Structure 1
Amino acid sequence: MSPDRDDETGQFEEEYPVAEFLQAVRTLDTATTNSVAESVGCSYDLAYRRLHTLAEEGQLDKERIGGTFVWYPLDE
């Protein structure tokens, strides 16, 4: 299955929008990388990369607990 392109811009449409990751972090009781991946419906690796990018951009906070990252929204 190939990604869809926007008819006007020709750019590929994002299959997993950033808003889905942010919403998952806000709504999950404990937003681990694995639980966010399951909520969004993407692979663990994609969730890991996207969540770290969002943290680097200042949109999320994270805490490492053992071998697991737990993600927190900054607006709460």
Structure 2
Amino acid sequence: MSIPDHAQANFQTLLRAAENGDLALMECADALTGETRYVICAVGREGSDFLFTPFGHLADGNPYEAYDPPLESSS
């Protein structure tokens, strides 16, 4: 399985933001469920305004239980 270009580009943006100290953790509401989410955001500036670009939210509970590792390909 190959990681798509858009995901690689977003990850590189996230790394640059972390390197520059331009990350924030924001408490937000899930747009579909209304549940509280803690969202990792890159922080930018436009004039005197701050811009927050969401990248994803922290996993609830044990993240090791939320994800399975990728399957090995037989190529």
Q: TM-score range by the shorter chain?
A: under 0.3
Task: Please report the TM-score for the alignment, with normalisation by the length of structure 2.
Answer: 0.27
- The one of the two structures with greater contact order (alpha-carbon pairs below 8 A, sep at least 6) is 1
TM-score, normalised by the number of residues in structure 1: 0.26
1 or 2, which has the higher helix percentage?
A: 1
Higher Rg: 2
Larger strand share, 1 or 2: 2
